[in-house]
Structure 1
Amino acid sequence: MKPIIVGISGATGIAYGVRALAMLRELKIETHLVLSVGAKMTVNEVGMTTQQIESLATHVHHQENFGASIASGSFRTAGMMVMPCSMRTLAAVAQANPYNLLTRAADVTLKERRRLVLLARETPLNQAHIQNMLSATQMGAVIFPPVPALYSRPSSIEEMIDYTVMRVFDLFEIEAPVRLPRWSGMADLTRPRAVNM
């Protein structure tokens, strides 16, 4: 498996990027991590330090290091996951206007026609957000809002996060190290389960 770039930008949902890094490490897949300044401000969401998150990656690149390997298309990767993807990051990708290494790596991923998955984190959306999502999609990115799949009947927040990460891995043809229920037809819905409202 070629290396994977993991970008974590400054939006709520840093847990998705952290969990992806942990799973990729378990699978022994080489990772290249870029944490934006904004992301470093949200590490308290997962109760970890920046150093603890960085320790999950094979390689860590400073967001201002435009000389990093991942800033060049000649460095071959399987693609990039931006987990979560802020609206500022999305705008930079959609407008091909990279302002840091994270957005430069995303731009390179697109120009090399590699897989780019953006876990866009914002709600509600304004017209500019939607237009940027369309532009990024037209350039080849996959917009992947981390919407929970409630049909899987998650029993915890961790399981909901794992399910989303598993589905992102599907887009890279990576077999996630977790086994969670997948949709297998309407018959699954006949199983009773208590739901607290």
Structure 2
Amino acid sequence: MKKIMFLLTLLMLTSQANAALLTFDDIPGGSKQNSVGGMPVYNGFVFSSTLNWIDVESSNWNHGAYSNDFALLNNYHGIGIITEESGAYFTFDGLWAKKWGTSKNSGGTDSLFGTLQGYKDGVLAWSINTSLNGSYKYFGAQSGLIDELRLGFGNNFLVDNLALNHNTSTPVPEPAPLALLALGLAGLGLMRRRKSA
């Protein structure tokens, strides 16, 4: 029984080992207080030149991060594009976004409109219509592998706690944690039947 539980735990941890939560607080050569700068390759992801890291808490741009001090800023208008460094597929697991130039947690009427899109091999895989105001809004995970994430929230927006998941193997669907748990429980049930027989 202990072996089965160990294997189930190991499988569940392995399936989530390639997840990356991009907080923008630990950017190599960046994340400097009261500063802004271009995005280098970060946690295995490449960012278009329209995107910058920025201190939005302890700075002249006190517009607020979702967590900690830093966020991603669409500093040059247009669409921000994110790809995997090696060109591999990845999944989009969610992010927080708000309108730039608004006071921290100021809410208000949505006034920045656009789209959040995932592309795979140049073909649109999914698309979400978006609207932002002065408070962070959550956009949840979308199913399917992509090789390009397009942040098209409209001009001048902030993104924080961007969750992406590297796909380091051939596209084989990973078993869901609940399915793994069900398999483990079924295995335990079989072991008990054998012992009582």
TM range (shorter): under 0.3
Structure (1/2) with the larger helix percentage: 1
Quick check: which has more Rg, 1 or 2?
2
TM-score normalised by length of structure 2: 0.26
TM-score, normalised with respect to structure 1: 0.26
- The answer to which structure, 1 or 2, has the higher relative contact order (CA under 8 A, 6+ apart) is 2
